[in-house]
Amino acid sequence: MRVLVTNDDGIHAKGIEVLAKSLGRIAEVTVVAPEIERSAVGHGITLNNPLRVDKVYKSQKFFGYAVNGTPADCVKISVGAIMEHKPDVVFSGINNGANTGTDAIYSGTVSAAIEGAMVDICSVAISVSRVGGSRFDYAGEYVLKLIETLAEKGFPKLLLNVNIPSIPADEIKGVRLTRQGRVRFRDYFDKRQDPSGRTYYWLTGELTDSEEGTDIDSTAVKEGYVSITPIHYDLTDEKLLEQLRDWNFEK
Ligand code: MN
């Protein structure tokens, strides 16, 4: 089986190395990732600049291709130009930091997986929680179980957002199928001055409200479970669509 491995933390991040190494034990892995960290770039793509692809070696061995673009660019260029054959599955990660709740909207990790799904490839975003110190060991093992399940099912067209707690493997309680939780942040702009006296702002924020429940992604991770959320990128609000049929937009 052929696997495309990408991420948004950049080709030099630890998580992508763990992921590529682990999947490399059982699959033909091609690594294509941004040359630098591109976290929180969402689904941006590069249209007005050339994309350059450079070979990256780690310990004198070919590791993968670094692209001066976004995570979504990486999947596009892999399928469109780098890989000879379409991959059976796209794995994006292992991201340093959970992508639960609305984080998934901003996430380059999730967007790379979405890009895979958009060209009908079975796609998985995988992240580990920073709470507990970003442990990649269990996630690296778990991807082997996950890909086995996907292979058994024949790599169907699906899109999964997987989040893993950063706890020792023997403390993982199991796997929960979850939904994306509703989360609210209060944005706070730290106002500062640069050396020439010009004002600049730095976005920080705090979590003010996070939906809780056994079927919520962030709750599952907090309680020691691997969280698997099936997601889609069709943004249509079906319920509202029905309600709006009774409104008069013509007047
Ligand atoms: Mn990231």
Tell which residue, 154, 89, 146, has the closest CA to residue 121: 89
111-151 pLDDT per residue, tens? 999 999 999 999 999 999 999 999 999 999 999 999 999 99
* Residue 25 reports pLDDT greater than 90: yes
How many angstroms is it from 12 CA to the middle of ligand 1? 12
Three-class SS of residue 62?
Answer: strand
Residue 102, token pair as written in the block: 């609305």
Give percent of the chain with pLDDT exceeding 90: 96
- Mean pLDDT calculated for residue range 178-202: 96
Predicted confidence band of residue 74 (pLDDT cuts 50, 70, 90):
very high
Predicted confidence band of residue 96 (pLDDT cuts 50, 70, 90):
very high
User: Cβ neighbours of residue 92 under 8 Å, at least 6 residues apart?
Assistant: 5, 6, 7, 8, 71, 75, 109, 110, 112, 113, 116, 123, 124, 125, 126
User: Cβ neighbours of residue 107 under 8 Å, at least 6 residues apart?
Assistant: 8, 39, 40, 42, 95, 99, 125, 127
Predicted confidence band of residue 41 (pLDDT cuts 50, 70, 90):
very high
CB neighbour burial string for 165-194, b if at least 16 within 10 angstroms, e if fewer? bbbeeeebeebbebebbebebeeeeeeeee
How many angstroms is it from 98 CA to the middle of ligand 1? 9
How many angstroms is it from 25 CA to the middle of ligand 1? 24
Highest CATH level, class, for 2-180+211-247? alpha beta
How many angstroms is it from 214 CA to the middle of ligand 1? 26
How many angstroms is it from 41 CA to the middle of ligand 1? 9
How many angstroms is it from 66 CA to the middle of ligand 1? 16
> Dihedral, CA atoms, 56, 58, 64, 67, nearest 10 degrees?
-40
145-171 pLDDT per residue, tens? 999 999 999 999 999 999 999 999 999
How many angstroms is it from 219 CA to the middle of ligand 1? 20
Domains of the chain, by residue range, sit at 2-180+211-247
* Residue 17 reports pLDDT greater than 90: yes
* Residue 239 reports pLDDT greater than 90: yes
- Mean pLDDT calculated for residue range 187-199: 97
How many angstroms is it from 33 CA to the middle of ligand 1? 12
How many angstroms is it from 80 CA to the middle of ligand 1? 24
How many angstroms is it from 9 CA to the middle of ligand 1? 4
- The separation between the first and the last C-alpha atoms of the chain, rounded to the nearest angstrom, is 56
How many angstroms is it from 247 CA to the middle of ligand 1? 42
- What's the CA gap between 2 and 150, in Å, rounded? 12
- Tell me the longest C-alpha to C-alpha distance in the chain: 69
